[in-house]
Amino acid sequence: MATASTAVSGTARRNADLLARRSAAIPAGIVTATPAFAARARNAEIWDVEGNRYVDFAAGIAVCSTGHCHPEVIAAAEAQLHGFTHTSFQVMAYEPYVALAERLNALVPVAGPKKTIFFNSGAEAVENAVKIARLATGRTGVIAFAGAFHGRTLMTTALTGKTLPYKRGFGTLPGEVWRVPFPIAHYGVSVEASLAAMDTLFRTDADPGSIAAMVVEPVQGEGGFHAAPPAFLQALRELCTKHGILLICDEVQSGFARTGRLFAVQHAGVEPDLVTMAKALGGGFPIAAVTGRAEVMDCVHPGGLGSTFGGSPISCAAALAVLDVIEREDLPARAASIGETLRARFEGWSRRDDLLPIAHVRGLGAMMAFDVVRSRGSDEPDPEGAKRVAARAFELGLILLSCGIYGETLRFLTPLTIPDEVLEEGLAICERALAV
Ligand code: PLP
């Protein structure tokens, strides 16, 4: 078997050689945050092809919340591999799909009877949630928020609220997508201002009777880890109910224990009509889901929804194990405690003169972030600073991601199964990377 530093052919593999092959074979449009190539990963650690070890504070962009290669998840996937790998649920159904749907129907915080359908990616889940909402309401308009990220298909690109790199140059996007500012205090947008903009939109451009759905991330992910204030989500719920609009919560990044509850929207006590999920659900295997009110989900005619690979039996088996692990290891509680550790550390860093100036420590549970700013006490974003810290952290052995509409935010997405000593090790590296 190939080891961390030996190629299948027996010759040593080097990151630099693979990078050269990568740039020759793969288009520039897909970027990679780090210059190394993975060879092996376990829980919160990754080794590259040269045998270098990294503490992983990215978890494959919020996917490996149960850690890389959780033994139970791997065992469940392996057991399924020995049965069959694919039939397409549209050709011959299988129990893991049904069992996972039943499980999500019991867990997702939507009122009343529920149904669930599976897809492959977060974007596909959002795309299909919009299709379902359009059929269920007979309307086409969709409201989305500034700074939102919902994916890279054409509809989800239209819903996404950041031009570069996601929208620029891709031409005409699906229409009747309306944008409202997302409440972020340090950008000067209050809950009241956001709701006033919605009111203006309804009066000037988009009659509420033409709107099928509002799509909202309870905690914005790529937009910078901004938690929607509970009062805001409650107000959206009221507006949706009043106008017959469906509320779609996109929990692709915030879901599955990351914020200290199974779903972030539960912090606000709000019940959406539809919930989109992906990422951590599969524990490293690709799967996405839409769960919604049964009468809404059943509005679509037979054949109107589907996907060749959606709800792969291997991913469904893995996801069932992920849900078991979340429950048995009480990962919501672990997320809350990781969040407390991170918050205390970041607040300490924000007061130190020997570190780069950071501000706006924020987050929900273990979905934590802060901004790198130009000077202490200012709100002026320093995206180059954030990029430098992430690059320096990588050189020191920590994988750390940036985000935010200016790229000024460093976000922390540790596996929730991370042992305390690895968490401490990663934080110590981050502190060194922040040194001026
Ligand atoms: N929705 C949210 C909130 C996300 O964070 C993402 C990805 O980061 C997506 C949708 C798109 O998911 P995918 O990349 O699996 O298509």
Whether residue 219 is contained in a domain is answered as yes
Å from CA of 378 to ligand 1 middle:
31
Of 283, 312, 328, the residue that ends a domain is: 328
Range of the domain at 358: 12-25+36-69+332-434
Tokens for 231, please give them: 């009062």
Q: Residue 13: its pLDDT value, please? A: 87
Which residue puts its alpha carbon closest to atom 7 of ligand 1?
151
**Domain boundary, last residue among 328, 363, 383:** 328
Co-location of 265 and 341 in the same domain: no
**CA of 60 relative to ligand 1 center, distance in Å:** 12
Q: Which of 55, 38, 62 is nearest to 411 (CA)?
A: 62
Residue 43 reports pLDDT greater than 60: yes
Same domain, yes or no, for 108 and 83? yes
Check whether 8 has a pLDDT greater than 90.
Answer: no
- The sheet with strand 398-399 has its strands ordered as 38-42, 45-48, 53-56, 398-399
Instruction: Determine how β-strand 398-399 pairs with β-strand 53-56.
Output: parallel
Provide the percentage of residues in the chain whose pLDDT is more than 70.
97
Close Cβ partners of 103 (under 8 Å, ≥ 6 residues apart): 320, 323
Cα–Cα dist 87/308, whole Å: 9
Flag whether 41 is in a domain. yes
Atom 10 (ligand 1) nearest CA: 150
Q: Are residues 278 and 421 in the same domain?
A: no
| Boundary residue ending a domain (271, 306, 328) | 328
- 123 CA distance to ligand 1 centroid (A)? 6
The verdict on residue 30 lying in a domain is no
Domain count, the chain: 2
Same domain, 211 and 129: yes
- Distant-in-sequence, close-in-space partners of 26: CB < 8 Å, separation ≥ 6: none
**Nearest CA owner, ligand 1 atom 13:** 122
Q: Answer yes or no: are the C-beta atoms of 393 and 430 closer than 8 Å.
A: yes
- Residues 304-338 have pLDDT tens digits of 999 999 999 999 999 999 999 999 999 999 999 99
Whether residue 65 is found in the same domain as residue 79: no
d(CA 333, CA 262): 10
188 plus 97 within the same structural domain: yes
Span from the CA of 304 to the centroid of ligand 1 (angstroms): 23
**Cα–Cα distance between 201 and 342 in angstroms, integer?**
38
Report whether 262 contacts 256 (CB < 8 A).
yes
User: Sign of torsion, CA 206 173 168 232?
Assistant: positive
Nearest to 390 by CA among 381, 400, 404, 376: 400
What tokens does 234 get?
């409650």
CATH code of the domain covering residue 199: 3.40.640.10
For the segment 193-214, what is each residue's pLDDT rounded down to a tens digit?
A: 999 999 999 999 999 999 999 9
Do 87 and 172 belong to one domain? Answer: yes
Would residue 31 count as lying in a domain? no
Q: Are residues 162 and 52 in the same domain?
A: no
CA of 63 to the centre of ligand 1 (A): 10
- CA dist list (Å): 341 to 256, 335, 355: 20, 10, 19
Please write the tens of the pLDDT for every residue from 83-122.
Answer: 999 999 999 999 999 999 999 999 999 999 999 999 999 9
For 214-255, how does the pLDDT look when each residue is reduced to its tens digit (9 = 90+)?
999 999 999 999 999 999 999 999 999 999 999 999 999 999
pLDDT for the residue numbered 2: 38
Domain annotation covers residue 159:
yes
Please identify which residue in the block is written with the tokens 């959002």.
126
Residue 267 has pLDDT above 50, yes or no: yes
Does residue 63 sit in the same domain as residue 97? Answer: no
Q: Is residue 383 part of a domain?
A: yes
Identify the residues whose C-beta falls under 6 Å from ligand 1.
61, 121-123, 126, 149-151, 217, 221-222, 250, 252-253, 278
Pair 116, 92 in one domain: yes
Average pLDDT of span 134-141? 98
Using DSSP, state whether 219 is helix, strand or coil: strand
Q: Which residue has the tokens 């990616």?
A: 121
2: in domain: no
User: For a pocket test of ligand 1, which of 253, 309, 402 has the largest count of ligand atoms closer than 8 A to its C-beta?
Assistant: 253
- Give distance in angstroms: CA of 162 to centre of ligand 1: 14
Residues 244 and 261 reside in one and the same domain:
yes
Q: Report the nearest atom of ligand 1 relative to the CA of 126.
A: 10
DSSP secondary structure code for residue 13 in this structure: P
**375 CA to middle of ligand 1, Å?**
32
What end-to-end distance do the CA atoms of the chain give, in Å? 43
| Same domain as 89, residue 46 | no
CA 407 to CA 409: how far, in whole Å? 6
Count of helices and strands (H, E) across the chain? 13, 15
